[in-house]
Amino acid sequence: MFGYVRPGGRLSDEDRKHFQSAYCGLCHTLGRRCGMAARLILNYDFTFLAMLLSESSTCQTRRCPLHPLRGRACACQNEALERSADYSVILLWWQLQDGIADHGFWGAIRYRLAAALLRRAYRKARFARPGFDESARRELAELARLEAEGCPSVDLPADRFARLLAGIAGEEEGTRRRVLEQMLYHLGRWIYLADAADDLKRDLRRGNYNPLALRFAHEGGVLTPESRQELGKTMDGSVRAMAAAFELAEFGAYRGVIENVIYEGLYLVGAAVLNGTFRRRKGQAKET
Amino acid sequence: MRDPYEVLGISSSATDEEVKKAYRNLARKYHPDNYHDNPLADLAQERMKEINEAYEAIQSRRKGGSYETGGYSAAYSGYSGDAAFARVRAAIAQGNLALAETLLNAQGDHGAEWHFLKGAICHRRGWLDEARRYYQTAVSLDPLNAEYRQALDLMEGNQNAYQPDGYRAMSTVGCGNDLVSRVCGTLLCLNCLSGGGYFFCC
């Protein structure tokens, strides 16, 4: 999907290992559940989601094509990793469908190709998580409708994406459910805004909808300093809401990593995105 | 009741100074200002109560310690002269945002309080950009109202917000241009660690 949600540099060595093992664990889970092709969609955002949903973290050393000899510490397959893997496949599938609908015959070819590669994985994931599949389809269709209307608010389209993520908390119970709902809502809102800021220039060039272009003053796809300030503040509001919720539940072994993402990582990524330095860092990364 | 030392996250051999420090730190973390118009405010309030009780229990056990609790009372409740607005406030307090919005939209009077309440509904929903704009309008229509001003100030974020040990207060815009170029280098990138390509890393 995006890859915006990552820790900053203040991570302790131990937490770094936890993060890496969750990342490797998710990659292996994707491979096992959804096939080799699905491993290509591994990203930081869903690693973060897996850590949020995890109750425990046991590790084992495993080898993979990239680390064939020594292997790496890798979180054992568990419910949280399986859920994250399924969600990432389902979400990407519907984003590809959206891409196919948005582009003409030739433009949509690469989306069709990617969807064809993902079809088997998607079917399996849909079978395991019918509820999420349904809400992803519904919310993204609603989002596409707002985009087609040219909705001038940033909160309304962000709300659709945020709700989609918040729905994941539905499988939890009690306080943990309320806390996760709030965290995932604001995570979704933040990701949507960061992505919109990151894509602003490209969207304007191609004549695509971008809520920031309608809400904030900009010059040729570059936000004016005042707009940047306002957008930054509203993104910070979401990060602070995540932090406030985070402090109300237990997160086991991944607490340190999650804490770092919320108190440092997201601010750094947000700053890089608003400065236009983030996309450059991504280099030739695939656009989804 | 849980062991008060456990609640404050310290050992029973902690010095008075450590007890006070732990208490202050937790009180800052769960301060009502951090949960203003937040759907989880009740959970934070419960934590706050637990922390206050634990601190009081420790103080009374040790005797002679100075009592410093009760400084943070939670729950704000606004006043409204208008009966219709009072109903909207009650609906917001109950968490029934759909009802609150219906009641509010039925109002013809779009004054400062109307904008403030509209902002409060948006804030609860997590629509922070719209909430801020409604609060701003409310403040500009009635600049002397402390309640509206407070809501806007909290929305803008106070500098005293809680940070865990080792972290400084940050904001997205606060990182200046030159800082960001340096800071980007500090973003953790596992791909580099594992030496893999962008997507195929495990």
Q: What is the pLDDT averaged over residues B124-133?
A: 92
A285 belongs to a structural domain = no
Residue A79: CATH number of its domain:
1.10.600.10
A7 belongs to a structural domain = no
A281 belongs to a structural domain = no
Four-point Cα dihedral B118, B120, B122, B125, nearest 10? -140
Q: Amino acid identity of B23?
A: Y
Tell me if A155 and B128 make a contact (CB, 8 A cut-off): yes
* CB proximity A1 to B under 8 Å: no
Residue A179 neighbours by CB under 8 Å, 6+ apart: A245, A246, A248, A249, B40, B43
Question: B88: left (phi > 0), else alpha (psi -120 to 50), else beta?
Answer: alpha
User: Taking CB atoms and an 8 Å cutoff, what residues of chain A touch B51?
Assistant: none
For A22-36, the pLDDT digits (tens) are 888 888 888 888 877
User: Is B181 a residue whose pLDDT tops 50?
Assistant: no
Q: Amino acid identity of A75?
A: A
Residue A45 neighbours by CB under 8 Å, 6+ apart: A1, A2, A3, A4, A5, A191
A288 belongs to a structural domain = no
CA distances to A19, A227, B29 from A4, in Å: 15, 21, 26
Name the residue of chain A whose CA is nearest to B33's CA: A244
pTM passes above 0.80: yes
Return the residue in B26, B28, B122, B128 with the most chain A beta carbons within 10 A, the one to mutate for interface testing.
Answer: B128
A188 belongs to a structural domain = yes
Cα B160 from chain centroid (whole Å): 11
Return the residue in B188, B198, B201 with the most chain A beta carbons within 10 A, the one to mutate for interface testing.
Answer: B188
User: Is B96 a residue whose pLDDT tops 80?
Assistant: yes
* Residue pairs between chains A and B whose CB atoms are closer than 8 Å: 180
H helical segments located in A207-265: 211-215, 225-246, 255-260
For A63-116, the pLDDT digits (tens) are 777 776 666 777 777 888 899 999 999 999 998 888 888 777 887 888 898 888
Q: In which domain, by residue range, is A27 found?
A: 13-275
pLDDT tens, residue order, chain A (288 aa): 568 898 887 888 888 888 888 888 888 888 888 877 778 888 888 999 999 998 776 777 777 777 766 667 777 778 888 999 999 999 999 988 888 887 778 878 888 988 888 898 899 999 999 999 999 999 999 999 999 899 999 999 999 999 999 989 888 888 999 999 999 999 999 999 999 998 888 888 888 889 999 899 888 888 898 999 899 999 999 999 999 999 999 888 899 999 999 998 899 889 888 888 776 555 434 333
Tell me if B44 and A248 make a contact (CB, 8 A cut-off): yes
* CB proximity B47 to A under 8 Å: yes
The structural domain count of chain A equals 1
A118 belongs to a structural domain = yes
A75 belongs to a structural domain = yes
A242 belongs to a structural domain = yes
Supply B158's token pair.
Answer: 């106070």
Between CA A42 and CA A30 the distance in angstroms is: 8
User: Taking CB atoms and an 8 Å cutoff, what residues of chain B touch A10?
Assistant: 166-167, 186
